[in-house]
Amino acid sequence: MAQQDFALSGVYAAALTPVTADMDPDIGLMAAHCRWLLDHGCDGLAILGTTGEANSFGLKERIGILNGLAEAGIPGDTLMPGTGACALPDAIALTRVALDNGAGGVLMLPPFYYKNPSDDGLFAAYSEVIQKIGDARLRLCLYHFPQMSGVPIPFSLIERLLKAYPATVVGMKDSSGDLDNMIGAARNFPGFAVFSGSDELMLPLLNAGGAGCITACANVGSGLAGQVYQGWKDGDDVQAVHETLTALRGAIVKFPLSTALKTLMARHSGNDGWRNIRPPLMRLNDADRDTLFVTFDAIGYQIPPLP
């Protein structure tokens, strides 16, 4: 299928948020990780998402992370921060800070505490944020992750939002694992950038008109994901690389994603601080850590060296 022009596209890492032994965000280490990802296959960074433990951080902390990365020199236009929240004032505040720091887009969960909301209610929630922001720079991607949020984003809602805000609502990250849903969104809404939240579904989604991927495993496999995306754009045969990327994800998803990825980063960097994680998430036990390493190493993929 012919490539489309999207406001946002490519490979985005659902970036990890390292924390100190005191469980505070480690901005210096996070900024270094962001630079490394951008140097190794990522077109952008979806910070403060599920993998980044966003909902384990308070509003003040999340704002501090956004400002801290800007102060550390991470280009704002490479960032797609997660700004969804149960409370609309929090979503509005986070989105304003993201825009003030030059974010290329934002990724927004629906308000997720109250289950089975109507389309009218979800439309009103997104509309309230967009209206209160009132900024033509805003590029908003919806975040469809019903297994985690409990609040799906149906096509009927996408249609309403695109009709009301065609220049603002530009895409969606689909972490449902349902390829048919991703392809349906891409085909029903031309120009709407649909990103796969699963590495193994990126290539079939690209072939069906998708925009790329936003994935957790890009934290360690960004080079592979970048090869798949760029090779696909160039018309190359990327099936073998895609299969390696799929195997990499398969090794990691046997364990809680954030925990497993931080464990791999700790080994790769030699910095055991990478293993710090906020409860209720916990470190891998020794047996699971060993199993992860054996399974990961069997793939034969080498994580790019750190500077």
State the pLDDT at residue 307.
74
If one counts every other C-beta atom within 10 angstroms of the C-beta of residue 302, the result is: 9
Average pLDDT score over residue span 84-96: 98
Q: Are 193 and 163 in contact (CB under 8 A)?
A: no
**169-174 sheet: strands from edge to edge:** 44-45, 10-13, 212-215, 193-196, 169-174, 140-144, 106-108
Return the CATH superfamily for domain 10-236: Aldolase class I (3.20.20.70)
- Cα–Cα nearest to 262, from 45, 68, 17: 17
- Cα–Cα nearest to 36, from 221, 293, 280: 221
- Cα–Cα nearest to 211, from 181, 247, 170: 170
Model confidence pLDDT, tens digit, residues 156-194? 999 999 999 999 999 999 999 999 999 999 999 999 999
**Burial (CB count within 10 angstroms: exposed 0-12, middle 13-18, buried 19+), residue 113:** exposed
So which residues are the catalytic ones? 50, 113, 143, 173
Look at residue 2 and give its three-state secondary structure. Answer: coil
State the pLDDT at residue 62.
98
State the pLDDT at residue 1.
44
Look at residue 172 and give its three-state secondary structure. Answer: strand
| pLDDT at 225 exceeding the cut of 80 | yes
Quickly tell me which residue has 């908003």 as its tokens. 140
Q: Are 90 and 58 in contact (CB under 8 A)?
A: no
Domain limits of the chain?
Answer: 10-236
Model confidence pLDDT, tens digit, residues 252-269? 999 999 999 999 999 999
